Structure 1
Amino acid sequence: MAGNQETTSIEDLLNKNLSGVELDEATRILYGKKLEKLNLSEEAHKLAESADFELAGYIFEAKPEQTRAARKVRIGAIQNKIVAPTTESVATQRDALHSRIGVLIEAAALSGVNIVCMQETWHMPFAFCTRERLPWTEFAESAENGPTTLFCKQLAKKFGIVIISPILERDENEVIWNTAVVISHTGEVIGKTRKNHIPRVGDFNESTYYMESTLGHRVFETAFGKIAINICYGRHHPQNWMMFALNGADIIFNPSATVGGLSEPIWPIEARNAAIANHVYTVAINRVGTESFPYEFTSGDGKPAHKEFGHFYGSSYVAAPDGSRSPGLSRIRDGVLVAEVDLNACRQVKDSWGFRMTQRLDLYAKELQEFIKPDYKQNILKEL
């Protein structure tokens, strides 16, 4: 289905069919607890209404401590459709997205956001399904001084916020990467990280364009906390989340582009489970809309040739270390999700559940070291 035929959100279905105690109980079971809504500025709401996008905000609390002050941070997650058709020029498509995202970032700033993250390769259509080189590789740009980074640097400095900008990167050696650029609230680039795991399933033909990262699991210390970026497909690998957490991340963002027919049933689970397992906040951000391309393409799943990749179902959300999560944004509309979190919750849940003390990294490190050897024998016992 596409367009108006798509379900708006699971939350809309619940609200239409349940009320009162039943709705509260369903919310508790599905989301862990009912979160208090953030009182966002009237100016931000007016901008959302005039520019036709969803704006929602929620509060994640932590318990007061005697020896540490609260460490409250506002996180912003942005999901959006492409603006110009894929038949337009590269510059026209990119500039239209810059203009649109500028409005959404302004709304986030008006909502008091400290750190904002966009979806995977937000400055272009998700053209990797086509396996065509031109014109799509022309969207690749420098992570340090390309047009999208320069655009985000201006906004970061103007609003005093950290911006995580996932782009298609072309490095100085003409190698292309799937990259997230982290820009400080001062407007300077702190650094970049790259996608560790690349899908090879159905229409996801991304290995045609770029290779797996060699940068490891970088964590960025910002003025508002330590953050990491687990790009898209990496959310399917628990070890990926774990290594970002072991390197000190308080918040792990997961900018993604995934379609309903492939992953929607597991979308609400993975980032939330990662928050629980690693005692961190996670931010799951998914592209929204259906994108059509000029030429038909085929994939490895036996379907007839097609021009549309499928419906990107949005549904961006934030999950907390205690397993609670926010409602998701719409499945069909652009949106800005704001979450006020207290980073003290990360250590509080560590102390409560003790996963860091009980996870036995030494045991797994030893066994994994053996497993990667070519002569490894599985540790299976059987009756003689």
Structure 2
Amino acid sequence: MQVNNKLKLGLVQQAVANNDKNVNWQRSAEQVTVLAEQGCELVLLQELHSSLYFCQQEDTQAFDLAEPIPGPATEFFAELAARLNIVLVTSLFEKRATGLYHNTAVVFDRELGLVGKYRKMHIPDDPGFYEKFYFTPGDLGFEPIQTSVGKLGVLVCWDQWYPEAARLMAMAGADMLFYPTAIGWDKNDSKQEQERQHNAWQTIQRGHAVANSIPVVVANRTGFEASPIQGDPGIQFWGQSFITGPQGEILAQAASDKEQNLMVEIDLNRTEQVKRIWPYFRDRRIDAYGDIDKRWRD
């Protein structure tokens, strides 16, 4: 249940240099600890923070990076959340069974431990982002996770482009939306194209905040990760993690090219007031939206 009308929350934007999970977990834990010591009660980590972004190629050996839930990662982050007395949103490569894997966000709540998870629903398949090879689409639906600081609408990366996902989370009572992310540029793209891509990415998520009158928290990774495929340009992750208020206003934004923590204080009373003066849910024409569940209107 919500215990305070004001909530300090933060995120960690990091670069990843290798596949040593223990090193990467510890590096994340150090920054989460910094935020907790500054008063954060809720912290978000970026997508697949345990390792390099392995989806740049299709390689069956990469499945060795996956692990069960519960497992070593959940033990580590549950202990961290309990020790720091915070709510922690993480992102893991889940091994559900041999041959069945998910891109899964996991939420830990203080001493309660693991209180919920979300399996990424929308799975991309593009050059450098061969995620359909690795991840089975999620089967847990768009259900917010109840925590001691509120109901968290947790989605993952490619989900952030879909208004339907944000709307369904909001309709189920999410107080905030969270997007652990790993997105970057192809170095062959022009500066103009890179700017268009970044602007579109930020705009769509700010739109989710506006359309649903709730804050949005986005943690992206930063740094360059070379492709294991000879001749491929690799990915320059564009960082620029950000936090918005319920009208899409930018409350904090990280740099593109360095590791950085963000922290803001969210006023949940203000979210309530925004919902009262912009009653989108009151005016939705649910009687006229019957075709929204179709692939296309022919």
Aligned residue for 1:170, secondary structure, equals: strand
Which has the larger displacement, 188-197 or 168-177?
168-177
2:20 maps to 1:96: no
Q: Distance in 2 between matches of 1:142 and 1:279?
A: 35
User: Of 279, 291, 296, which residue of structure 1 is paired with 2:229?
Assistant: 296
Change (3 A) 1:129 1:222: same
Q: Distance in 2 between matches of 1:119 and 1:140?
A: 16
**Counterpart residue type for residue 64 of structure 2:** E
Aligned residue for 1:155, secondary structure, equals: helix
Query: Contact 1:165–1:181 (CA<8 Å) still a contact in 2?
Result: yes
Q: Distance in 2 between matches of 1:267 and 1:242?
A: 17
Structure 1 residue 207: deviation in Å? 0.0
2:47 maps to 1:123: no
2:158 maps to 1:233: yes
2:73 maps to 1:139: no
Query: Contact 1:155–1:187 (CA<8 Å) still a contact in 2?
Result: no
Query: Contact 1:70–1:344 (CA<8 Å) still a contact in 2?
Result: no
Query: Contact 1:286–1:315 (CA<8 Å) still a contact in 2?
Result: yes
Query: Contact 2:67–2:93 (CA<8 Å) still a contact in 1?
Result: yes
Unaligned runs of 5+ in 1: 1-67, 85-89, 298-304, 379-384
In structure 2, the partner of 1:180 is 105
Aligned residue for 2:40, secondary structure, equals: coil
Query: Contact 2:215–2:248 (CA<8 Å) still a contact in 1?
Result: no
User: Of 367, 377, 383, which residue of structure 1 is paired with 2:291?
Assistant: 367
Q: Distance in 2 between matches of 1:359 and 1:152?
A: 40
Structure 1 residue 309: deviation in Å? 2.4
| Count of aligned pairs between the two proteins | 288
2:214 maps to 1:287: no
Aligned residue for 1:97, secondary structure, equals: helix
2:86 maps to 1:152: no
Q: Distance in 2 between matches of 1:354 and 1:76?
A: 28
When Rg is computed on C-alpha atoms for both structures, the one with the higher figure is 1
Length-normalised TM-score, structure 2: 0.91
Length-normalised TM-score, structure 1: 0.71
Aligned residue for 2:39, secondary structure, equals: coil
Query: Contact 2:145–2:154 (CA<8 Å) still a contact in 1?
Result: no
Structure 1 residue 200: deviation in Å? 1.9
Query: Contact 2:4–2:149 (CA<8 Å) still a contact in 1?
Result: no
**Counterpart residue type for residue 196 of structure 1:** M
Cα RMSD, aligned residues only: 1.9
User: Which stretches of structure 1, 4 residues or more, deviate above 4 A after TM superposition?
Assistant: none
CA deviations on 1:37-64 (whole Å, 9 max, x unpaired) are xxxxxxxxxxxxxxxxxxxxxxxxxxxx
Structure 1 residue 330: deviation in Å? 1.4
Change (3 A) 1:74 1:362: farther
In structure 1, the partner of 2:115 is 190
**Counterpart residue type for residue 133 of structure 1:** T
Structure number having the greater strand percentage: 2
